[in-house]
């Protein structure tokens, strides 16, 4: 309860008490009732003060935070280290992909073992200390993996172990996908991970995960064999579909609600040579690219072929950067011919490694920024034209507010992508081929944060309206968790899964320890 509300409650009580005294008591009655008034005053004061206590615990003083940092430093093994402001590790542990997601914590801790994560989590829970858990730091929502309390950086969980017998890879929660692909390349296998450079493993998998293999194998959560999880009570468990079906379901898209994942075991898929890269088109070629995108989105049936068409407005003009991927050394004739035949301003496509395709899709970092998402069912000429219109409209409109980049990603998958996996926290619906449009805005001045967040919401609604008026049933379609703004309603992401997810949360974390960390909460 905020102080304004507490003040209102207190004023209401005082008003009613005064009215009672004025209308219902004589001086003698007042004398007799005086002890009652004093008692009532004390009770109301206690009630008001009690409502202030949660705020005090939710915002511990710097000295209390420092004490917790010291406790952690003394309790963990030599495999883990606590860092303080002024050290290079402290700065790196707090740093995020966009500057607006970075906070200054009281200290950072780099655990080196699951046992130390257990020690840390129990201390944070018992001391009611706010904390953040950072994997790769690619999230754009402030406070989701950052904190002003204790920042946990998972960077020491950085190993990849490939098992030839099970055809799986154990991947540390502190890695980025670039390094995972590098480690697996000598084995001639890949995993269904991030599609552009610099994306972290942990948040990507825990949010769902659309990959270059999604047409063939589903989302990344559909390829998880096991999670090594440190529960809120400190117990370290391996969660599989057999060991705990409900918790396994919840971890597939349920973020950090159930503890801290230290390791993911993912299925691997054979492959050493792939075709792909980026072709950039200038403003004059946009109508031709729009037509090519519509044809690809509605006519391609090859599950090995995927694209991300990024409509980017920078420096006063728009271009489309089309990232193409084919699971094989050479795509069949006709799959990408439309794009290859359009005059481009730059072209970098070839047969290459999986990592090389991913690193061809570089995304600018360092500015302030945020993602949001609209969901549609079909990239028709109308919806593609709407995306292009939104890009130019907001690119021009937001220039005065310090826009660095206004970008919309068109991601056409096959309608069968959700048929590859079992039930999971996300997506809540698997019988419809919902497609995400990723809105990615970047800007410079902090004073413009609210302007850009508002623009993201308005634009997502506009794209949804266009699809609805075109006959697509997407008014309440699920929104992709890894793209959604921080204040997106839980119902819009998890739908009918919410009651089950809340029940799992209550069982696994009855003390709401993970509520001390940021993120979407059940």
Is residue 177 within 8 Å of residue 196, measured between CB atoms? no
d(CA 430, CA 125): 36
Tell me the longest C-alpha to C-alpha distance in the chain: 101
Domain 62-153: assigned CATH number: 3.30.465.10
d(CA 324, CA 384): 17
**CATH 3.40.462.20 matches 274-495:** yes
> Within the chain, which residues score under 70 in pLDDT?
1-59, 363-365
The pLDDT assigned to 428 comes to 97
Q: For the range 349-353, what are the long-range contacts, defined as Cβ-Cβ under 8 Å and sequence gap of 24 or more?
A: 349/275, 349/276, 349/277, 349/278, 349/279, 349/324, 350/275, 350/277, 351/273, 351/274, 351/275, 352/273, 352/274, 352/275, 352/276, 352/277, 353/181, 353/185, 353/272, 353/273, 353/274
The pLDDT assigned to 363 comes to 66
Of 108, 308, 272, 303, the residue nearest 197 (C-alpha): 308
Q: For the range 13-22, what are the long-range contacts, defined as Cβ-Cβ under 8 Å and sequence gap of 24 or more?
A: 13/44
Q: Tell me 134's DSSP state.
A: E
Write the Ramachandran bin of 113: left for phi over 0, alpha for psi from -120 to 50, otherwise beta. Answer: beta
Is residue 147 within 8 Å of residue 130, measured between CB atoms? yes
Contacts of 336 (CB under 8 A, 6+ apart): 296, 305, 324, 326
Contacts of 146 (CB under 8 A, 6+ apart): 94, 96, 101, 102, 103, 105, 132, 134, 518
The pLDDT assigned to 15 comes to 39
The pLDDT assigned to 32 comes to 35
The pLDDT assigned to 43 comes to 34
d(CA 93, CA 69): 15
- Domains in the chain: boundaries: 3-58, 62-153, 274-495
> Is 197 exposed, middle or buried, given 0-12, 13-18 or 19+ CB atoms closer than 10 A?
middle
Contacts of 394 (CB under 8 A, 6+ apart): 313, 403, 406, 441, 455, 459
Is residue 381 within 8 Å of residue 419, measured between CB atoms? no
Is residue 476 within 8 Å of residue 200, measured between CB atoms? no
> Is 203 exposed, middle or buried, given 0-12, 13-18 or 19+ CB atoms closer than 10 A?
buried
d(CA 320, CA 430): 30
Is residue 134 within 8 Å of residue 176, measured between CB atoms? no
Bond from prior residue into 113 cis (ω within 30 degrees of 0): no
Structure tokens at 274: 């792939």
Question: How remote is the C-alpha of 88 from its chain's centroid?
Answer: 26
Q: What are phi and psi of 370, to 5 degrees?
A: -160, 150
Q: Are strands 274-281 and 346-352 parallel, antiparallel or unpaired?
A: antiparallel
The pLDDT assigned to 78 comes to 98
């Amino acid at each position: 309860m905020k102080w304004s509300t507490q003040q209102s409650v207190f004023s209401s009580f005082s008003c009613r008490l005064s009215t009672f005294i004025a209308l219902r008591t004589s001086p003698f009655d007042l004398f007799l009732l005086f002890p009652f008034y004093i008692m009532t005053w004390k009770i109301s004061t206690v009630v008001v003060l009690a409502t202030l206590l949660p705020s005090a615990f939710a915002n511990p003083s710097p000295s209390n935070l420092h004490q917790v940092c010291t406790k952690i430093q003394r309790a963990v093994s030599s495999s883990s280290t606590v860092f303080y402001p002024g050290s290079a590790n402290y700065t790196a542990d707090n740093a995020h992909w966009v500057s607006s997601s970075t906070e200054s914590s009281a200290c950072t801790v780099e655990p080196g073992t699951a046992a130390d994560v257990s020690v840390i989590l129990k201390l944070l829970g018992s001391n009611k200390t706010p904390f953040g858990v950072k994997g790769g730091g690619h999230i754009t929502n402030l406070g989701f993996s950052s904190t002003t309390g204790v920042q946990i950086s998972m960077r020491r969980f950085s190993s990849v172990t490939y098992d030839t017998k099970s055809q799986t890879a154990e991947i540390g929660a502190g890695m980025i996908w670039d390094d995972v692909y590098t480690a697996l390349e000598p084995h001639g296998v890949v995993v269904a991970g991030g599609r552009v450079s610099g994306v972290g493993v942990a948040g990507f998998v825990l949010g769902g995960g659309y990959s270059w293999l999604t047409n063939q194998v589903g989302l990344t959560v559909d390829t998880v064999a096991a999670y090594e999880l440190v529960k809120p009570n400190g117990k370290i468990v391996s969660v599989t579909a057999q060991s705990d079906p409900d918790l396994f379901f919840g971890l597939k898209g349920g973020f950090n609600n159930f503890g801290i994942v230290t390791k993911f075991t993912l299925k691997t898929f054979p492959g050493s040579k792939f075709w792909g890269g980026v072709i950039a088109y200038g403003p004059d070629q946009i109508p031709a690219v729009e037509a090519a995108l519509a044809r690809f989105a509605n006519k391609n049936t090859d599950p090995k072929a995927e694209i991300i068409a990024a409509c980017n407005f920078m420096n006063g003009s728009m271009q489309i950067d089309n990232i193409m991927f084919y699971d094989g050394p050479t795509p069949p004739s006709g799959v990408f011919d439309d794009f290859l035949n359009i005059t481009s301003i730059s072209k970098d496509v070839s047969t290459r490694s999986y990592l090389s395709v991913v690193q061809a899709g570089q995304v600018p970092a360092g500015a302030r920024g945020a993602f949001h998402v609209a969901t549609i069912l079909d990239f028709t000429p109308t919806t593609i034209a709407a995306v292009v219109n939104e890009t130019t409209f907001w690119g021009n409109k937001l220039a005065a507010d310090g826009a660095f980049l206004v970008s919309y990603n068109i991601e056409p998958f096959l309608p069968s992508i959700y048929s590859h996996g079992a039930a999971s926290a996300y997506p809540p619906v698997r019988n419809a081929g919902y497609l995400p449009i990723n809105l990615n805005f970047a800007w410079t001045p902090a004073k413009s944060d609210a302007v850009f967040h508002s623009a993201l919401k308005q634009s997502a609604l506009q794209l949804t309206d266009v699809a609805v008026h075109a006959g697509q049933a997407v008014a309440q379609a699920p929104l992709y968790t890894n793209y959604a703004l921080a204040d997106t309603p839980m119902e819009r992401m998890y739908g009918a899964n919410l009651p089950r997810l809340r029940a799992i949360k209550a069982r696994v974390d009855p003390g709401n320890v993970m509520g001390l960390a940021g993120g979407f909460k059940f």
